[in-house]
């Protein structure tokens, strides 16, 4: 692997870890908002204004930001009843095809969201409510999470094609759960 590829992998890994930290932080903030709103409603008859909107917007962080990290750990749900019998070359080709399909699907969604961002920023669109929360900040977070995921999918495609070409299984993922298929 070249120096540029190693630098890219290191930078991508650091961005994925940062996205996971932001996602976890958003989850904690969501819990805090819900807790404070319930306590405010029960104790003072005054919930946090726009609490449902804020929690819904923070859910974008919780869902979109960890996608790349999960892909790097090969942690997405996969049904491998028949593919476990295939040789490494076929598995590499299937992995590359699956990553390409995900890249096209999620990349097109991210592109459509990113395409609307300049207009929403210029118009200052917001969610109706007491706080008039702007729509575009979380759409930027969503687009960034999808961009990071698409970059990781490109790495997965390259690894799958390398496995297909060489017949060598991809290296184990550091920190990923051990493959339990060998235990049976």
Q: Rounded to the nearest 5 degrees, what angle is found at the Cα of 158, between the Cα atoms of 155 and 162?
A: 140
Segments in the chain forming alpha helices (H): 3-44, 51-64, 67-72, 88-123, 136-166
Total domains, the chain: 1
- Residue 124 gets the label, from left (phi > 0), alpha (psi -120 to 50) or beta, of left
What digits encode the pLDDT tens for the residues 64-91?
Answer: 999 999 999 988 887 788 888 899 999 9
> pLDDT at residue 180 above 60?
no
Residue 184, domain member (yes or no): no
Residue 102, domain member (yes or no): yes
What digits encode the pLDDT tens for the residues 141-171?
Answer: 999 999 999 999 999 999 999 999 999 877 6
Residues constituting the chain = 184
Q: Are 26 and 61 in contact (CB under 8 A)?
A: yes
| Sign of the CA dihedral running 47, 50, 54, 59 | positive
Comparing CA positions, the residue from 126, 135, 148, 156 lying closest to residue 64 is 148
Residue 179, domain member (yes or no): no
Residue 60, domain member (yes or no): yes
What integer pLDDT is reported at residue 176 of this predicted model? 58
Cβ neighbours, 10 Å, residue 99? 22
Residue 137, domain member (yes or no): yes
| Sign of the CA dihedral running 41, 61, 101, 71 | negative
> pLDDT at residue 14 above 80?
yes
Range of the domain at 44: 3-174
What integer pLDDT is reported at residue 174 of this predicted model? 63
Record the pTM: 0.88
Lowest mean pLDDT among 28-37, 92-101, 173-182: 173-182
Three-class SS state of 1: coil
Residue 83, domain member (yes or no): yes
């Amino acid at each position: 692997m070249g120096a540029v590829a190693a630098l890219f992998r290191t930078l991508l890994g650091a961005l994925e870890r940062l996205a996971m930290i932001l996602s976890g932080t958003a989850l904690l903030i969501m819990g805090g908002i819900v807790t404070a709103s319930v306590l405010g409603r029960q104790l003072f008859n005054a919930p946090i204004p726009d609490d449902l909107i804020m929690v819904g917007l923070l859910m974008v962080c919780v869902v979109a930001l960890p996608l790349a990290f999960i892909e790097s750990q090969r942690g997405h749900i996969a049904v491998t009843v028949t593919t476990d019998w295939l040789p490494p070359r076929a598995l590499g080709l299937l992995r590359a095809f699956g990553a390409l399909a995900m890249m096209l699907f999620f990349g097109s969604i991210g592109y459509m969201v990113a395409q609307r961002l300049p207009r929403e920023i210029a118009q200052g669109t917001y969610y109706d409510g007491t706080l008039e929360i702007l729509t575009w900040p979380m759409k930027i977070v969503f687009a960034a999470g999808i961009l990071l995921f698409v970059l990781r999918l490109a790495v997965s495609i390259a690894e799958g094609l390398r496995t297909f070409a060489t017949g060598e299984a991809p290296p184990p993922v550091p920190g990923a759960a051990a493959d339990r298929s060998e235990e049976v």
